[in-house]
Amino acid sequence: MFNDRLRDVAMQVESCLAEMLLPLGTAPVAEAMRYATQGGKRIRAFLVMESAALHGVSDAASVWAAAAVEALHAYSLVHDDLPCMDDDDLRRGQPTVHVKWDEATAVLVGDALQAMAFECLTRPELHPDPSIRLALVASLARASGAQGMVMGQALDIAAETSTESLSLDQITRLQALKTGALIGWSAEVGPVLAGDDPEPLRRYAGALGLAFQIADDILDVTGDAAKTGKRVGKDAEAGKATFVSLLGLNGARDRARSLVAEAEAALTPYGGKAEALREAARFVISREM
Amino acid sequence: MFNDRLRDVAMQVESCLAEMLLPLGTAPVAEAMRYATQGGKRIRAFLVMESAALHGVSDAASVWAAAAVEALHAYSLVHDDLPCMDDDDLRRGQPTVHVKWDEATAVLVGDALQAMAFECLTRPELHPDPSIRLALVASLARASGAQGMVMGQALDIAAETSTESLSLDQITRLQALKTGALIGWSAEVGPVLAGDDPEPLRRYAGALGLAFQIADDILDVTGDAAKTGKRVGKDAEAGKATFVSLLGLNGARDRARSLVAEAEAALTPYGGKAEALREAARFVISREM
């Protein structure tokens, strides 16, 4: 059920992204933008479209918010992979944009994808009421900007150059900003589009986002590059504090499992209708645990 | 008149930018964002607020669009100055962000300023009708993204590494994208907020934007770093085709003057009310010609 829906979401989102990129033709930056938006798990898009479906909002509407968050996520990956940031050569099993093209192209691709994300949210298909679309522009700007994702990335980079290790509280806050803010935004799109209370999905996304990051830290220790599509073992190599270094492998697994239980419990008000979201929560920690 | 208004616009915009940056506190990225948004001529903000005043829109409303375009312009400068792009150490007479901090901070500052630009356009003060604010989000995304400013910058970088020199038509198109798109967006804010015909200001901005760029090329030959606040002579050094290399110094001056006359002529429908915009057009070519 979850896997079918994930595939279906990915197809719909990719068709929107292709439509947005079509007018750009074959300019080098357009090719690199297409490359950067390909692949990935599309978890954020899934959260957008599944939270929307749960609140009676059609896929034809919510897919534009899903395309927005996937474009925004793609921009953040292209910039995070730059040599001056995390310096990654491999992403989703393919060379990163600055490796395949060059650093200037990677900077510009990220910049253009961010603009495209906000443009997706202006599409009239998303909601008949422009004030709702505008609210999503404002909340995506906050979730991705200097009070959200960018601050998380800045804290992460500062931690790498610092001699003091982060505490569990500090890492939890860092991750809530770096990955949690966008995951939270995604899960709240449904209630926002429907004018309903976002609280249950906000709690779900808070627990899910943290579980997702703990699973990533575990994968960095137990995974291999062939399966994860990116370089592994680099946290330990960099002497970086992670959930695994702070909690141990078993402690991290236990914490991830209890967060997934917490995420599932937050969905109680939705009853059986939220089964795909429950499966999603179990999925994020199932990879290689 | 123009100078007084420019100072007044700068003060109002800086107060909005300070308000947007206030919640960020003293985090390193916030300090660098404040630094990156300081100074500059504020020509784009002036165009926004003066075009708005011309259409009966209050400063208290239009200043949020002015803050948006100045935040967006600041992001583009921070990214353009990066070593992998134009590699500039000096901007507005001060060390560039990647020199004063580091490249990672410069990437993140630009990313966060772009998000902040779009957030400024969601402010209710800008216009009571959310569909108008949303239209400005969509048009700013297009003007700054892969079909506008980013494409101009990509063409500029491609030209630098190419063995073939650009023709006059190619440079004109490049500049229309790289700087013209944002200048055009700025000048059209007034009519968009008022629901009036943007055509006269569109023609004004088209001529002004090109005159501005020709004046910049002239300054790169005749100016000095102390007055321009940035490194000069680098176009010739890089063997780059410019309006001066293609038209000669006198030819470029003539072309800039005729564009200013064209810009002034486009303002005819506004009569005497558009005097500050006329002065602005004369100002952009008065620096060191």
Nearest by CB to residue B131, choosing from A107, A108, A130, is A130
Instruction: Find out whether B49 and B2 touch, Cβ atoms under 8 Å.
Output: no
Q: Using CA atoms, how far apart are residues B50 and B62, in angstroms rounded to an integer? A: 9
Q: Where are the domains of chain B?
A: 2-286
User: What pLDDT does A161 receive?
Assistant: 81
- pLDDT bin (cut points 50, 70, 90) of residue B102 is very high
Report the alpha-carbon distance of residue B96 to residue B98 in Å, rounded.
6
| Chain A positions in Cβ-Cβ contact with residue B147 (cut-off 8 Å) | 23-24
- Cα–Cα distance between A175 and A146 in angstroms, integer? 14
Query: B133: nearest CA in chain A?
Result: A134
Q: Who among B85, B107, B137 is closest to A122 (CB)?
A: B137
Q: Which positions in chain B touch A76 (Cβ < 8 Å)? A: 111
| B122: chain A residues, CB-CB within 8 Å | 134-135, 137-138, 141
User: Which among B101, B147, B155 is the top mutation candidate for probing chain A, defined by the most A β-carbons within 10 Å of its own β-carbon?
Assistant: B147
- The answer on pLDDT for A163 being more than 90 is no
- Contact between chains at B114 and A110 (C-beta distance less than 8 A): no
Q: Which amino acid is at A224?
A: D
The mean pLDDT of A59-82, rounded to a whole number, is 98
B111 to A79: CB separation less than 8 angstroms, yes or no: yes
Assigned token pair, B84: 């992998």
Using a CB-CB cut-off of 8 Å, the residues of chain A touching B104 are 82, 84-85, 157
Determine the distance in angstroms separating the CA of A146 from the nearest CA of chain B, rounded to an integer: 5
- How close B147 gets to chain A, by Cα (Å)? 6
Residue percentage of chain B with pLDDT more than 70: 95
Mean pLDDT throughout A171-197? 96
> What token pair was written down for A159?
């931690």
Nearest to A150 among B29, B135, B151 (CB): B29
- Distance, CA of B104 to CA of B92 (rounded, Å): 21
Q: How confident is the model at residue B148 (pLDDT cuts 50, 70, 90)?
A: very high
Distance from CA of B128 to the nearest CA of A (A): 10
- Chain B residues within an 8 Å CB radius of A156: none
Fold of A2-286: Farnesyl Diphosphate Synthase (1.10.600)
- Residues of chain A positioned with their CB less than 8 A from the CB of B102: 84
User: What's the gap in Å between the CA of B108 and the closest CA on chain A?
Assistant: 6
Name the residue facing A103 among B28, B84, B130 (closest C-beta): B84
**Which residues of chain B lie closer than 8 angstroms to A104, CB-CB?**
82, 84-85, 157
Q: What is the mean pLDDT of chain A?
A: 93
Q: Which of A78, A120, A122 to mutate to test the interface with B (most CBs of B within 10 A)?
A: A122
Q: What is the pLDDT of residue B163?
A: 81
Q: What is the mean pLDDT of residues B237-263?
A: 91
Interchain proximity A115–B154, CB inside 8 Å: no
Task: Write down the pLDDT at residue A151.
Answer: 95
Q: What tens digit of pLDDT does each residue of A236-283 get?
A: 667 788 999 999 999 999 999 999 999 999 999 999 999 999 999 999
> Which of B35, B37, B150, B178 should one mutate to test binding to chain A, selecting the residue with the greatest count of A CBs within 10 A?
B150
Query: Which chain A residue's Cα is nearest to B146?
Result: A112
The answer to whether residue B117 scores a pLDDT higher than 70 is yes
Report how far residue B202's alpha carbon sits from residue B199's, in angstroms, rounded to the nearest whole number.
5
Of A28, A116, A147, the CB nearest to B158: A28
Lowest-confidence region among A96-105, A224-233, B218-227:
A224-233
Query: What pLDDT shows up at residue B155?
Result: 92
Give yes or no for a contact between B116 and B71, defined as CB atoms under 8 angstroms apart.
Answer: yes
Average per-residue pLDDT for chain B: 93
Cβ pair B134:A130 closer than 8 A: yes
Please enumerate in sequence order all residues whose Cβ is within 8 A of that of A210, keeping only pairs 6 or more positions apart, or say none: A172, A175, A176, A180, A259
d(CA A127, CA B168): 44
- Give the SS3 label for residue A145: coil
Q: Do the chains contact at B144 and A105, CB–CB below 8 Å?
A: no
Structure confidence by residue, pLDDT tens digits, B51-63: 999 999 999 999 9
What's the pLDDT score for residue A289? Answer: 53
Contact A154 B84 (CB under 8 A): no
Question: A288 pLDDT exceeds 60?
Answer: no
Q: State how far the Cα of A154 lies from the Cα of A258, in Å rounded to an integer.
A: 28
Per-residue pLDDT of B162-201, as tens digits, reads: 888 899 999 999 999 999 999 999 999 999 999 999 999 9
Q: Do B112 and A146 touch (CB under 8 A)?
A: yes
Burial of A9 per CB tally in 10 Å (0-12, 13-18, 19+): buried
Question: What pLDDT is recorded for position B288?
Answer: 55
State the pLDDT confidence band at B66, using cuts at 50, 70 and 90.
Answer: very high
Query: What is the rounded distance in angstroms from the CA atom of residue A179 to the CA atom of residue A148?
Result: 9
CA distance to partner chain A, nearest, from residue B18 (Å):
14
Q: Lowest mean pLDDT: which of A50-64, A116-130, A148-162, B114-128?
A: A148-162
Q: Which of A108, A111, A137 sits opposite B122 (nearest CB)?
A: A137
ipTM value, please give it: 0.95
Q: Contact A146/B29, CB-based, under 8 Å? A: yes
Instruction: Find where tokens 């439509």 sit.
Output: A19
Alpha helices in A81-180 (DSSP H): 97-100, 103-120, 130-144, 149-161, 168-175
Mean pLDDT of B212-223: 89
A with B: how many residue pairs have Cβ under 8 Å apart? 151
- Give me the mean pLDDT over the B122-149 stretch: 98
pLDDT band at A225 (very low <50, low <70, confident <90, very high): low
State how far the Cα of B288 lies from the Cα of B228, in Å rounded to an integer: 9
Which residue, among A120, A137, A170, would best test binding to B if mutated, counting the most B CBs under 10 Å from its CB?
A137
Which of A149-163, B37-51, B69-83, B257-271 shows the lowest per-residue confidence on average (mean pLDDT)? A149-163
Enumerate the β-bridge partners of residue A91.
A94
- Residue A226 has what pLDDT? 64
Cα angle, residue A266 at apex, residues A56 and A192 outer, rounded to 5°: 35
User: Is-contact A116 A71, C-beta < 8 A?
Assistant: yes
Task: Kindly report which listed range (A196-205, B103-112, B237-246) carries the lowest average pLDDT score.
Answer: B237-246
Q: In this predicted structure, what is the pLDDT of residue A39?
A: 87
Using CB atoms, which residue from B30, B119, B153 is nearest to A108? B153
* Minimum-distance CB partner of B122 among A30, A104, A138: A138
Alpha-carbon span A195 to A189, nearest angstrom? 10
What are A2-12's pLDDT values in tens digits? 899 999 999 99
Looking at residue A174, its pLDDT comes to 94
pLDDT, one tens digit per residue, over A16-53 is: 999 999 999 887 799 999 999 998 889 999 999 999 99
Nearest CA-CA partner of A21 in A10, A8, A34: A34
